């Protein structure tokens, strides 16, 4: 599994078959309730029912079938209160080794809004040492459960903008992504985030990325492409050729701007 797949442990389209190993917990709901943080309990009560059920269901499935999972955090738009009807549930869990793909497929079959991100404790250390975008997202996230207070030292850290070394590495990494319609949209989002970080802003949701980018960047080609990449409810695989060309042009412009700042 590549680093991108590990960071975004997401399976599109659930498959049937196979059974997860059951842990023998007699009352999973009570077990989940007992391990939720106080903040998570209060936060969940404020969520719309379908989001609350998804977060609770994911947590129950993980703790029942993978009890050695160290922590769970909801990050992104749901955690930051800028969700809409197109939002999913970005659920980061800390575990090494990661939950097997077939188990993730089964969880997603039960909870279609779920999107998984996985990190080991060592990876978390690396992200926070470099003040990465992921570190910022976790700091703004909602800790659902945290065995042995693993996350406490990370949540107490003061973050600067991401390190230049991390941004150079991320730029090289993103350069290897596909350039189909989905790949171009993802590149635009990642490069747009890197560019804003160079300007002193670390966006952690598409809403914040779009708002900050359109407010700070005056290049029409770039703002048009960012509008395409962040448009809600649009099927990215069905973009028009003119939109694809707009994205390709913007990705190249952004790459050149970022390279000029980092190298």
CA distance 214 to 209: 8
CA distance 223 to 200: 18
Q: Report pLDDT digits (tens) over 111-151.
A: 999 999 999 999 999 999 999 999 999 999 999 999 999 99
CA atoms within 13 A on the CB side of 109: 13
Provide CB contacts within 8 A for 83, sequence distance 6+.
Answer: 51, 77
Q: What is the DSSP-derived secondary structure letter of residue 2?
A: -
3-state secondary structure of 117: strand
- pLDDT value for 114: 98
* The residue to which tokens 């947590």 are assigned: 59
For residue 179, pLDDT over 80 is answered with yes
For residue 91, pLDDT over 50 is answered with yes
- pLDDT value for 178: 94
- pLDDT value for 238: 79
CA distance 210 to 231: 9
CA atoms within 13 A on the CB side of 200: 1
The residues that bridge with 114 in the sheet, in sequence order, are: 89
Residue range 178-189: mean pLDDT, rounded: 95
Q: What is the DSSP-derived secondary structure letter of residue 147?
A: G
Mean pLDDT of the chain: 91
- pLDDT value for 233: 78
* The residue to which tokens 């009352």 are assigned: 27
- pLDDT value for 130: 98
* The residue to which tokens 């029942």 are assigned: 64
CA distance 42 to 33: 12
Structure tokens at 33: 């309730």
Residue 260 and residue 197 in contact, taking contact as beta carbons nearer than 8 Å: no
pLDDT bin (cut points 50, 70, 90) of residue 192 is: very high
- Percent of the chain scored above 70 by pLDDT? 89
pLDDT bin (cut points 50, 70, 90) of residue 84 is: very high
CA distance 167 to 164: 5
- pLDDT value for 6: 46
- pLDDT value for 124: 97
Of 169 and 21, the structure prediction assigns the larger pLDDT to 169
- pLDDT value for 30: 73
- pLDDT value for 13: 36
Query: Which of 68, 62, 71 shows the shortest CA–CA distance to 20?
Result: 62
The residues that bridge with 89 in the sheet, in sequence order, are: 114
Hey, what domains does the chain have and what are their CATH numbers? 3-155 (3.30.460.10), 164-262 (no CATH)
End-to-end CA separation in angstroms for the chain: 30
Residue 195 and residue 259 in contact, taking contact as beta carbons nearer than 8 Å: no
Q: Report pLDDT digits (tens) over 206-244.
A: 999 999 999 999 999 999 999 999 998 777 777 999 999
For residue 31, pLDDT over 90 is answered with no
- pLDDT value for 182: 92
CA distance 233 to 253: 26
21-35, 63-77, 136-150, 233-247: the lowest-pLDDT one: 21-35
- pLDDT value for 9: 59
Residue range 147-172: mean pLDDT, rounded: 97
Residue range 12-29: mean pLDDT, rounded: 48
Residue range 184-204: mean pLDDT, rounded: 98
CB atoms within 10 A of CB 156: 8
CA distance 46 to 36: 15
């Amino acid at each position: 599994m590549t680093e991108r797949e590990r960071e975004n442990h997401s399976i599109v389209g659930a498959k049937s078959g196979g059974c997860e190993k059951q842990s023998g917990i007699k009352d999973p709901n009570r077990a989940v309730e007992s391990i939720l943080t106080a903040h998570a309990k209060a936060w969940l009560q404020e969520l719309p029912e379908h989001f609350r059920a998804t977060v609770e269901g994911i947590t129950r499935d993980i703790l029942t079938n993978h009890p050695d999972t160290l922590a769970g955090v909801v990050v992104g738009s749901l955690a930051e209160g800028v969700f809409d009807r197109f939002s999913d549930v970005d659920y980061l869990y800390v575990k090494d080794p990661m939950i097997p793909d077939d188990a993730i497929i089964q969880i997603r079959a039960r909870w279609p809004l779920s999107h998984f991100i996985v990190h080991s404790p060592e990876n978390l250390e690396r992200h926070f040492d470099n003040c990465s975008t992921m570190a910022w997202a976790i700091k703004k996230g909602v800790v659902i459960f945290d065995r042995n207070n693993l996350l406490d030292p990370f949540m107490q850290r003061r973050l600067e903008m991401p390190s230049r070394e991390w941004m150079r590495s991320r730029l090289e990494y993103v350069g290897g992504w596909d350039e189909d319609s989905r790949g171009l949209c993802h590149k635009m989002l990642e490069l747009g985030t890197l560019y804003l970080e160079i300007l002193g802003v670390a966006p952690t949701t598409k809403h914040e990325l779009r708002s900050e980018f359109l407010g700070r960047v005056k290049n029409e080609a770039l703002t048009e492409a960012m509008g395409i990449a962040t448009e809600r409810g649009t099927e990215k695989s069905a973009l028009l050729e003119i939109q694809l060309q707009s994205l390709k042009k913007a990705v190249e412009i952004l790459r050149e701007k970022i390279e000029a700042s980092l190298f």
